[in-house]
Structure 1
Amino acid sequence: MRTLREQLVGAGGEGVGGGGGTLLEWEGQQIGEVFAYGMPLEQMDGAQYTLRRMPVVVLAIAAIICVILGGSFGTALVPLRAVVCITWMLVVAIGASVMVYQLGYLEFLGLEALAPAGGSLFWISPSVALAVLVGLGLDYDIFLMDSVMENWQEGKDGREAVIAALDQAGTIISAAGIIMFLAFGALLASTTPVLNQIGFMLCIGVLIDCFITTKLTIPALMACVPDAANFWPKKRPPPPTAGDIEERGSVSARGSVPCLRRSLTSSARDLLGNSGTAPPSLRNTGGRS
């Protein structure tokens, strides 16, 4: 808890008991300390502690992203690009919130959820939005890049792999983004300013990541960088040889024989019935239909 040492009376005024002192001084000597407790002061301490630790948290998140994505995809550029995309998404989302809730750019709409409250953002709003948006941004990024890597390993170049990945995963990402936008948008119906601010940041971040980052930014960045750099140091698997194709075909054919045998056995059993004898029509014709 912070120690309250505010001077209550100026140097030329009359202090407690006269003489122009302070609440904690008497005739030039310190006689004690006053400690203040309560929710406002606890929030001040929490805000200062959080903001002091925020750079460390951001650097730790960036390092974890690089380690996880680099180990998962085996490339050096994918995690760096993910950090850049998530960073600019956070900057835009928090910056838009400052414009709305601190500068009052949307105050003319007359909506309570978009009106400035207290003249600044509540300290906990960016902290909560940071954690949630990083998780969602990585989720959508991994959806797209997993499909890109799969198409690239099949023999497509970087541009073709991104186009195919958007065709395969783009609809899923858009649907997931719309669902999260509606869920976070419900916070704007609250009468609590901090919930309005968090909901606004999350909605802006989800829209940016789903409809700009994954649809425009990532494809544009990958198209501007050569394939050798996009997927370095990962190596594309060699194309299958004629022997591999022939071996796969023979294995497939051998695997189909038991299935064919079981199918013929099942058909004969259905034809003969449970008794195992041929019906009269087949016995009279010597087994010919």
Structure 2
Amino acid sequence: MLLGLWVAVLAFAGPFAGKLGDVQRDRAVDYLPANADSTQVAKIQEKLPGGETTELVLVYHRDGGLSAADRNTAADQVAAVERELKLVATPTGVASKDGSTLMYPVASTSPGTDEEKRDAFVNDVRDVVKAPEGPDGTDGLSVKVGGSGALATDASEVYTSLDGPLLYTTVGVVAVLLILIYRSPLLWLVPLAVAGVANYLSMGVAYGLNQAFDTPISGQSSGIMTILVFGAGTDYALLIVARYREELRRVERPYDAMRTALRGCGPAVLASSGTVAAGLFCLLAADLNSSRGMGPLGALGVLCALVAMLTLLPALLVLFGRRVFWPLVPAFGSEPKKRKSLFQSMGSSAGRRPLTVLASGAILLGALALGAFALPGNLKQEDSFTSKPDSIAAMETLAAAYPERGTQPISVIAPTDGADRALADARGVPGVDSAERGRSSGRWTEIAVVAKAAPQTAAETATIERLRDKLDPRGAYVGGPSAEQIDLKDTNRRDMWVVVPIVLAAVLLILVALLRSLIAPLLLLLAVVAVWGASLGIAGLVFGPVFGFEGTDPGLGLLSFCFLVALGVDYGIFLMHRMREECLAGAETGPAALTALRTTGGVIASAGLVLAATFAVLTNMPLVQLVELGFVIAVGVLLDTFLVRTYLVTSASLALGRKVWWPGPLSKERRPPREPEPSEPELVRAP
């Protein structure tokens, strides 16, 4: 019956899952802060005549200087662009001082707000503007198309291309790890297939939410959802399968063994998924659109994985019976081989000197966290790709050829009735090279401002801030690519102060409800926060020197915190819940901690490896922000799995003893049962 229900669900969700890519949006406004000036500019530009402007820069360059033939080629191609495509104004060429470069700013409103039309316009321009080949002396001429529109198109193409490779690579990595973990030709297929079903279901539900509530879906958020479905879902499967295998040795019928297994590990799985979902839902409090949109989609993926692993996975395992474990079949009444495991050895070493182990681990994590001060500065647009697309090459050429002036406009949107005063004020701001009035509607007028400084430099940032200070009383907004980067930095700083406390409070409440304690949840939270700091520290040591990254994504701190806290607490839940079970059965806290580590250590290690590997898939993607996020989370999960859970949490539990369960009933000293007092012998009257 349960399998039939899943067939019906997939049949219903199937048509919607295939449409998820159709509603995926990767516009600038989908990644910007909701209330920032630059976001308001982007929204208003969409409503101006012709819609949002697509701005390009055509770059002609030759080492040693452009020839007359080069300039004629440039003029002919620009004329063809103006003749064949709808432009805002006639392009005017600007030559560099050394004569090696000639740039033509080009703007069009024909694409409107449709990304496909924008990309089509950019590609049409690239079809016309390209280096000619032949014996006419133009060999060696470099022709590139840059600007914010070309950058957006290249980024959109990258996000669109992520879906297939990301999914296939994730499935392949999980499959290899499951084969190594289970050492069975059959068993690994079951959790992997169930995870695939959960991913398919999450895609269908995500599309439905988009249609019903206009939930934003971007390439980044949909990719993270896939990672979470396979990573978290496989973690839950590992815990359920391990407990099921354990019960099959005690219970004869697979159905009864599965019931017992779910009764034992079900609360831990529910609490685990609850912490991840709660932590991700907290991102709704973020002002950054990309972070706020990722929260519900990531939580949806985790919940779909939970439902599949608690219903479909047990049904399939019971259906296949014990033979699914072949060749290591857990026979009824059998005992597992008695051998000293790695985690038993680790527990023994932690048990001998728990305070020493705890202090050493804390010092190590603190030292690693210091590396966070070495993280490179904010990531610039031209540094956001691991490879070098055409638009990035164009921007690098412009930066080298025009160090003394801006090469991309700053967009100002002013009320139409005060546009003339705003234009005069903008021209008088120090650092402004020129300002021209652009399109106008009944309420708003666009002003294009060019700074004297190069894009995304400290000097241009100062110019933008002066523009905002000067024009704010006029009711004007200042936006554009450089202003967007400033707003991203400021908003991420604000979101850290708002979202982080909410995440900690939500996860703490779930842990308190599960463990019936206050000390144990605080211990787990402190551990995952330490892991987060150490992970960022390791990133600071390798991002620049090893990976060659020129900057750090402004959202890395918040996103990595939410993921590492929510996902890291998972393993603490697995360990602490088993420890609590042992204590409820009568064991003291010390032996219970060692037993929990011995019985769950292998599962936690396997789950950690799978989760780290799935996020490590992101490090193979062509976007720096995805590589950075995947690296930090993968390193954090490994630290959490093999250092914090095995040594530090176990050592802290041994050192605290019963106090770890304070103020719950398990923290109370147990009194031995009182022996009944001997009763007085009853006197019997003699006959």
TM range (shorter): 0.5 to 0.7
CA-to-aligned-CA distance 1:181-214 (integer Å, 9 cap, x gap): 2111111212321111111101110101111111
Of residues 635, 643, 660, the one that matches 1:230 is: 660
Query: Is 1:96 matched with 2:527?
Result: no
Instruction: Map residues 62-211 of structure 1 onto 2, 5 A cutoff.
Output: 62-102=504-544, 104=545, 107=546, 114-115=547-548, 117-118=549-550, 120-211=551-642
TM-score between the two structures when normalised by the length of structure 1: 0.66
Who is 2:30 aligned against? none
Q: Could you say what the CA RMSD is over the residues aligned between the two structures, in angstroms?
A: 3.2
Q: Counterpart in 1 of 2:264?
A: none
C-alpha deviations, 1:138-179, integer Å up to 9, x for none? 111111111000001111111100111112211111111111
Choose which of 486, 490, 496 in structure 2 pairs with 1:48: 490
For structure 1, the residue ranges without an aligned partner over 5 or more in a row are: 11-21, 108-113, 242-289
Give the alignment's TM-score, normalised by structure 2: 0.29
Q: Name the SS of the counterpart of 1:226 in structure 2.
A: helix
Tell me, yes or no, if the aligned pair for 1:148 and 1:164 is still in contact at 8 Å.
Answer: yes
Structure 2 spans left out of the alignment, 5+ residues: 1-36, 39-410, 413-425, 434-462, 674-687
Higher relative contact order (CA 8 A, sep 6+): 2
Sequence identity of aligned pairs in percent?
A: 23
Q: Which amino acid aligns with 2:583?
A: W
CA distance in 1, matches of 2:555, 2:432: 34
| Contact in 2 for aligned 1:125/1:194 (Cα 8 Å) | yes
Structure 2 partner of 1:61 = 503
**In 1, Cα distance between equivalents of 2:617 and 2:473:** 54
Could you say which residue in structure 1 is the equivalent of 2:128? none
Q: Per-residue deviation at 1:125?
A: 1.9
1:258: which partner in 2?
none
Q: Distance in 2 between matches of 1:173 and 1:193?
A: 30
* Greater Cα offset, 120-129 or 155-164: 120-129
CA shift for structure 1 position 81:
0.4
- Compute the displacement of 1:240 (Å): 12
Larger proportion of strand: 2
Q: In the alignment, is the contact (CA less than 8 A) between 2:605 and 2:642 conserved in 1?
A: yes
Please name the residue that 2:56 is paired with. none
- CA contact under 8 A between 1:148 and 1:162: conserved in structure 2? yes
Structure 2 match to 1:7: 430
**Number of residues of Structure 1 aligned to a counterpart in Structure 2:** 214
Query: Greater Rg, structure 1 or structure 2?
Result: 1
- Contact 1:149–1:161, Cα closer than 8 Å, also in 2: yes
User: Structure 2: how far apart are the matches of 1:35 and 1:230?
Assistant: 54
Q: 1:46: Cα distance to partner?
A: 2.9
| Contact residue 503 and residue 562 of structure 2 kept, 8 A | no
CA shift, 1:32, in A, is 6.8
Change beyond 3 A, Cα 1:7–1:140:
same
State the partner residue of 1:274: none
What is the deviation of 1:239? 9.9
